């Protein structure tokens, strides 16, 4: 093996991309790649892209434009910068990327990352541009090494499920990530045990449709997410579990019950509804109505009264009228969210809603502003209500000021406090003194 080569990965989008980037990094570490702080001087640059909203592909092309002079400088000094486009834009655009930006050496879709090291070696060996956007039958994670044995940050992601069969009319995920595949339970348990051995105390289970998880169990039966959580909770040293993202229709009785009786499952649930109008929900192909979502939230709160509910919303979906939008506002007032993400509808090429007549941009924006004002009000109220409470906080990393550390509350809030950095990875009681829209601060409880 020659001298260490430098790798820079830029990650866009969701937590699954963050997880994938980590696994790509460890696969390439086996070939002698070490992380670089910037793309300047890197021997390999990977853009792990997102295609979910807005001019995603355009952003990638401008990033490639910025890389071009760096790549030329590298070549002028006798080096070689290999440029890879990975992620959902790679999957959606495929060979188009190579024709629009010939500096790109390889295009790799999310299901082919286990073949990335070979593709890189071939590209660098002068075999020309490489492209792989196949959906293989095998589990890519079987072929990707786990992160190096070094001590890990106390909170980690673990992908348990990928892809989606729901086909919401606005969404590219079923096309870019493919149909729903659950990893076998035994593999998830083994990876979780490995993470805990390396210092992880909180694991967030990831999947585009994580609560539809149905991985093969060691007993031959399919395990549900609830079953998986109950088994994971038995791992000693693993203190906290979370999961994201869920679809309302897959919130089973058993999973709801788990929120009530499994203390390691944190009282926070991201449960997107997208809209509050039955007409729009139907057009979105969400396959549930507003009333059933509200009833579902009530049942979850009956099991776990303090649970923080978070959601996703889209304004200006094709056909959305003023009255439909008011129904979304009414749903939000009824549910009372602890946090939420909201977006203007953005037509995604190849999805059914992209073909429909569009709501004017101004109207989308105006509705988004009103919705965000209401959601911010609710989020602030949730944050304020924490003042005076003592919450168990997992200390994660140093904060902005010397002596300050940042941790997470059970409700996924960032909490700032002054404490010994030696408490990293410990769960300590913190009395909350101040709250802002996005974080809390407090002191160690006596
Ligand atoms: N336009 C706007 N928002 C979208 N989302 C997904 N697709 C689109 C789109 N085409 C949002 C949804 C989803 C979140 C991850 O992104 O709210 O839950
Ligand atoms: Fe996309 Fe989620 Fe709908 Fe699947 S359930 S199509 S990932 S919005």
Instruction: Confirm or reject: Cβ of 208 under 6 Å from ligand 2.
Output: yes
SS3 37: coil
CB atoms within 10 A of CB 349: 12
Instruction: Give the atom of ligand 2 at the shortest distance from the alpha carbon of 165.
Output: 4
Query: Ligand 1 centroid vs 116 CA: distance in angstroms?
Result: 28
Instruction: Confirm or reject: Cβ of 297 under 6 Å from ligand 2.
Output: no
Instruction: Give the atom of ligand 2 at the shortest distance from the alpha carbon of 167.
Output: 6
Q: Is 298 exposed, middle or buried (0-12, 13-18, 19+ CB in 10 A)?
A: exposed
pLDDT of the residue at 313: 98
pLDDT of the residue at 133: 92
**Which token pair is 184?**
């076998």
**CA-proximal residue: ligand 1, atom 18 (nearest):** 312
pLDDT of the residue at 2: 56
Instruction: Give the atom of ligand 2 at the shortest distance from the alpha carbon of 172.
Output: 1
pLDDT of the residue at 3: 73
pLDDT of the residue at 142: 80
Instruction: Confirm or reject: Cβ of 345 under 6 Å from ligand 1.
Output: yes
pLDDT of the residue at 228: 98
Query: Ligand 1 centroid vs 81 CA: distance in angstroms?
Result: 34
Mutation test of ligand 1: which of 343, 348, 354 has the most ligand atoms closer than 8 Å to its C-beta? 343
SS3 48: strand
Relative to the alpha carbon of 345, which ligand is closest? Answer: 1
Relative to the alpha carbon of 312, which ligand is closest? Answer: 1
CA distance 86 to 34: 19
SS3 9: strand
Mutation test of ligand 2: which of 53, 166, 169 has the most ligand atoms closer than 8 Å to its C-beta? 166
Query: Ligand 1 centroid vs 312 CA: distance in angstroms?
Result: 8
pLDDT of the residue at 307: 98
pTM of the model: 0.94
Contact 379, 340 (CB under 8 A): yes
Give, rounded to a whole angstrom, the gap between the first and last alpha carbons of the chain.
54
Relative to the alpha carbon of 180, which ligand is closest? Answer: 2
Mutation test of ligand 1: which of 270, 281, 311, 314 has the most ligand atoms closer than 8 Å to its C-beta? 314
Instruction: Confirm or reject: Cβ of 243 under 6 Å from ligand 1.
Output: no
Q: Strands 181-182, 161-162: parallel, antiparallel or unpaired by DSSP?
A: antiparallel
DSSP string, 316-342: --TT--HHHHHHHHHHHHHH--SEEEE
**CA-proximal residue: ligand 2, atom 5 (nearest):** 166
Spatial CB neighbours of 271, under 8 Å, sequence gap ≥ 6: 246, 248, 251, 296, 297, 300, 309, 310, 311
- Give the helix, strand, coil percentages of the chain, each rounded to 5: 40, 25, 40
Q: What does the pLDDT profile of the chain (446 residues) look like in tens digits?
A: 457 899 999 999 999 999 999 999 999 999 999 999 999 989 999 999 999 987 778 889 999 999 999 999 999 999 999 999 999 999 999 999 999 999 999 999 999 999 999 999 999 999 999 999 988 766 777 877 776 666 789 999 999 999 999 999 999 999 999 999 999 999 999 999 999 999 999 999 999 999 999 999 999 999 999 999 999 999 999 999 999 999 999 999 999 999 999 999 999 999 999 999 999 999 999 999 999 999 999 999 999 999 999 999 999 999 999 999 999 999 999 999 999 999 999 999 899 999 999 999 999 999 999 999 999 999 999 999 999 999 999 999 999 999 999 999 999 999 999 999 999 999 999 999 999 989 999 999 98
């Amino acid at each position: 093996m020659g001298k260490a080569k430098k790798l820079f990965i830029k990650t866009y989008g969701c937590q699954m991309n963050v997880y994938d980037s980590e696994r790509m990094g460890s696969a390439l570490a086996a070939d002698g790649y070490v992380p670089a702080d910037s793309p300047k001087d890197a021997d390999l640059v990977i853009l792990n892209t997102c295609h979910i909203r807005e001019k995603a592909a355009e952003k990638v092309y401008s990033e490639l434009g910025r890389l071009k002079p760096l790549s030329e400088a590298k070549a002028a000094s006798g080096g070689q910068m290999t440029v890879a486009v990975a992620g959902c834009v790679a999957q959606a655009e495929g060979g188009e990327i190579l024709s629009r930006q010939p500096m790109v050496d390889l295009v790799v879709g999310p299901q082919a990352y286990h073949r990335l090291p070979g593709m890189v070696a071939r590209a660098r060996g002068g075999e020309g541009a490489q492209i792989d956007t196949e959906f293989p039958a095998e589990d890519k994670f079987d072929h990707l090494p786990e992160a190096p044995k070094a001590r890990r940050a106390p909170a980690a992601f673990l992908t348990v499920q990928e892809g989606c069969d729901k086909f919401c009319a606005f969404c590219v995920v079923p096309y870019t990530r493919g149909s729903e595949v659950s990893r076998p339970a035994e593999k998830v348990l083994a990876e979780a045990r490995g993470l805990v051995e390396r210092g992880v105390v909180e694991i967030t289970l990831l999947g585009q449709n994580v609560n539809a998880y149905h991985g093969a169990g060691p007993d031959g039966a399919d395990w549900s997410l609830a079953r998986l959580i109950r088994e994971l909770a038995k791992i000693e040293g693993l203190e906290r579990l979370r999961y994201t993202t869920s679809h309302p229709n897959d919130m089973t009785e058993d999973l709801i019950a788990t929120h009530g009786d499994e203390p390691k499952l944190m009282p926070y649930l991201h449960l997107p509804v997208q809209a509050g109008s039955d007409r729009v929900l139907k057009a979105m192909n969400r396959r549930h109505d507003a009333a059933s979502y509200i009833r579902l939230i009530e049942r979850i709160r009956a099991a776990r009264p303090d649970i923080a509910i978070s959601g996703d919303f889209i304004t200006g979906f094709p056909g959305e009228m003023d009255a439909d939008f008011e129904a979304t506002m009414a749903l939000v007032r009824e549910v009372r969210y602890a946090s939420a993400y909201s977006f203007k509808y953005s037509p995604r090429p190849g999805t059914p809603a992209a073909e429909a007549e569009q709501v004017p941009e101004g109207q989308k924006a105006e509705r988004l502003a009103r919705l965000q004002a209401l959601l911010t009000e609710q989020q602030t109220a949730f944050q304020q209500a924490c003042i005076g409470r003592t919450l168990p906080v997992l200390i994660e990393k140093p904060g902005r000021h010397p002596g300050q550390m940042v941790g997470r509350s059970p409700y996924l809030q960032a909490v700032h406090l002054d404490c010994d950095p030696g408490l990293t990875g410990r769960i300590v009681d913190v009395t909350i003194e101040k709250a802002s829209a996005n974080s809390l601060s407090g002191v160690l409880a006596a």
